[in-house]
Structure 1
Amino acid sequence: MTYASMRPDDDRDPAVRWPGGARSAAALTFDFDAESVWVAHDPLNAGRPCVLSMGAYGARRGVPLLLELLARHELRATFYVVGEVALHHRGRVEAIAADGHELAVHGWTHAAPASMRPDQHVDDLARTRELLERIGGRPVSGYRSPSADFGVELVQQLDALGFRHSSNHSDDVHPYLHPGTQIVELPTSYLLDDAAHWWFSAAHWTKKMATNGEVREIWDEELAGIHELGGLLVPMMHPQIVGRPGRLRFLDGFLAHLRAHEIWIATAGEVAAHAAAELGEAGGGG
């Protein structure tokens, strides 16, 4: 049997050496979904203002509060933005870019790419990137799927369109190049996804929301393990989730903990560019 999602096992894959002698690296990432994630979950939610208000919180309060927190820690992050969200909340996306954070593509809508025709998905990637480049005034080269799932042709499509980094797979703790492309994968995990611990929908009330302490324990342990391996930590966060007041206190403490270690903290694009140079040299292409 052939598994399309698997890379060949290779213990010789070169680990990336991080700048300044750092032992490991971290890229702070936020998926700016706002209302779009709720409409993708159920199209009828478009007419349910109370449901939409949970996503609207991310734009109204979550993003400004997160920008203040990141500025206080003197850190820059990557915001994966849905195209329709950039249209509806343009001022927030402008503020993200004005603070020096990276903009990256998170789909035109929050619909799963696997549900689209390949040509439709390519069009959505291109027009979302064009909009974000217009708003931010800088090139956009990163992509994260709205559904953490897509077809086998997606990486080649990204490469052909000139994207240079993806943060979707969970098969490593080190960045790597997708074979035959210039796409650097920045692996992550649901362990580091705030939604996996705190997502709540009254229509699907199946588990309790985790406490800040529970999530902090999980993230600290994952950080310790990745740091020991010299790898890359990529938390996946959402302004409507981690941007709640109590969880901002959690994130404030976690960022302070990150900065207390020998960890290079950079945007996804900066990590990918550094990793591409390192991996190219290791493979004889530098």
Structure 2
Amino acid sequence: MNTDWCGEAAAVVTLTFDVDAETPILARGRRYAGHASTMSHQAYGPDVGLPRILDLLDDLDVPATFFVPGWVAEHRPGLAGSIVERGHEVAHHSYSHRPPTSMTFREERDDFARTLEVFSGQGIEITGYRAALWEATWRTAGLVAEYGLLYDSSLMGDDRPYRLPTEHGEIVELPVHWSLDDWEQYAYLPEPHVGSVIESPTKVLEMWCAELDGMRHYRSLFNLCAHPFLSGRPGRALALRRFVEYALACGDVRFARCRDVARAAAADPGLARRPHRAPEADPEIYPR
């Protein structure tokens, strides 16, 4: 098993935060802009949760990556820059937070390019991409390569980085998984329905520590996905802090920004290369 990409560490942790703000709700329908309570629930993320998380990262001296939709960066000028100033990475998370699987390829391309224009105008370097809701199409990775980005972080084909071939060249995939997403643990709204279970932060902390132990055993990438409007709330922020403290105390875990892991993975000659193509789905067996 080749693990040059992780160096001497037993596991690498990428703390990633999807700074979605209002976008995932507006993507369900612009009528929700009129729901004051719902919009305030989402605005809590950039307004309260994000500063709390940035302070937490400063206290613990660990780097992170923040996936920011272009709409959020455009409507909150200075937000992306404030993240970079703290030593963290800002990455592409669509413009509108509409999942690629809900769009035509032209719509997906336009949404992708519009985000890059926003960040270019703000002087923010973009190296990686994450699809909204992790709902990439088979064309998405090709867009990432075509626009010169290094990595994607939307797929689930491994628990270590891997090479992903596309028609526009090869990129690095930094895989994700639902078990390492705070949305599955904490997200709740009566309308639109985004989740219906609010778990105890104590349970979430236990689950993430157990997963990290497994990844230390198998020398994997612990790619945590958290959202400031969820994990930025007080009890959950403390659980996140305790997780980071646990990982640091292990002594064999390295924290890194996604772009740094992707660069190490791209330079690793032994990194696995996974095929990227849709399975054959016979319409006589699998009707639409």
So what's the TM-score if we normalise by structure 2? 0.88
Which residue of the other structure, out of 39, 53, 60, is the alignment partner of 1:66?
53
| Residue in structure 2 matched with residue 164 of structure 1 by the alignment | 150
Report the AA paired with residue 277 of structure 1: A
**AA aligned opposite 1:15:** T
SS at match of 2:46: helix
Q: Residue in 2 aligned with 1:76?
A: 63
C-alpha displacement at 1:280, in angstroms? 6.2
Q: Which stretch has the larger CA shift, 138-147 or 211-220? A: 138-147
Aligned partners of 1:86 and 1:138: how far apart in 2? 10
Please name the residue that 1:245 is paired with.
234
Match of 1:99 in 2: 86
Q: 2:245 aligns with which of 248, 256, 259?
A: 256
Aligned to 2:228, the other structure's residue is in SS state: coil
Answer yes or no: is 1:201 the counterpart of 2:189.
Answer: yes
Contact 1:212 1:250 in 2 (8 A): yes
Which piece of structure 1 moves more, 171-180 or 78-87?
171-180
Deviates most, 201-210 or 235-244: 201-210
Q: 1:247 to 1:115 in 2, by over 3 A?
A: same
Which residue is 2:263 aligned to? 273
Describe the superposition over 1:167-204 as per-residue Cα deviations: whole angstroms up to 9, x where unpaired. 11112111000025321111111100000000001234
Q: Counterpart of 1:57?
A: 44
Pair 1:205–1:96, CA change in 2 (3 A): closer
1:34 pairs with 2:21: yes
User: Could you list the runs of 5+ residues in structure 1 that have no partner in the other structure?
Assistant: 1-11
Whether 2:138 is the aligned partner of 1:152: answer: yes
Greater Cα offset, 98-107 or 84-93: 84-93
Residue 257 of structure 1: SS of its match in structure 2?
A: helix
* Residues 19-49 of structure 1 deviation map (CA, whole Å, 9 limit, x = unaligned): 3x21111111000100111111232111111
- What CA distance in whole angstroms lies between the structure 2 residues aligned with 1:34 and 1:53? 9
Task: Return the match for 2:217 from 228, 238, 257.
Answer: 228
Sort the Cα spacing of 1:50 and 1:138 in 2 relative to 1 into closer, same or farther, 3 A: closer
8 Å contact 1:55–1:240 — kept in the other structure? yes
Of 254-263 and 235-244, deviating more is 254-263
Q: Is the 8 A contact 1:16 1:175 kept in 2?
A: no
Residues of 2 paired with 1:72 and 1:186: CA distance? 26
Question: Which portions of structure 1, spanning 4 or more consecutive aligned residues, are displaced by more than 6 angstroms?
Answer: 280-283
Letter in 2 for 1:274: A
| Cα distance in 2, alignment partners of residues 129 and 250 from structure 1 | 34
Q: Which runs of 5+ in 2 are unaligned?
A: 274-288
Secondary structure, aligned partner of 1:151: coil
Number of residue pairs aligned between Structure 1 and Structure 2 = 269
Q: For 1:67 and 1:205, how far apart are their aligned partners in 2?
A: 25
| Distance in 1 (alpha carbons) for counterparts of 2:269 and 2:131 | 24
Equivalent residue number for residue 23 of structure 1? 10
The one-letter amino acid paired with 1:198 is Y
Q: In structure 1, how many angstroms separate the alpha carbons of the residues matched to 2:130 and 2:90?
A: 11
Alpha-carbon distance, 1:256 to partner: 0.7
> C-alpha separation between the residues in 1 aligned to 2:32 and 2:163?
39
SS at match of 1:70: helix
**2:173 is matched with which residue?**
185
State the alpha-carbon separation in 1 of the partners of residues 199 and 184 from structure 2. Answer: 9
Q: Distance in 2 between matches of 1:78 and 1:90?
A: 18
The alignment-based identity, stated in percent, is 33
1:245 Cα offset (Å): 1.2
| Residue 182 to residue 206, structure 1, CA distance change in 2 (3 Å) | closer
- In structure 2, distance between residues paired with 1:166 and 1:121: 15
- CA-CA distance at 1:138 after TM superposition: 4.2
TM-score (norm 1): 0.89
Amino acid paired to 1:121: E
| TM-superposition CA deviations, 1:236-258 (whole Å, max 9, x none) | 01010000111111111111111
- Equivalent residue for 2:282? none
State the one-letter code of the partner of 1:83. Answer: G
SS in 2 for 1:128: helix
Residue deviations 1:179-232 (CA, integer Å, cap 9, x gap)? 253211111111000000000012349743100111111111111111110110
Cα shift at 1:119:
2.2
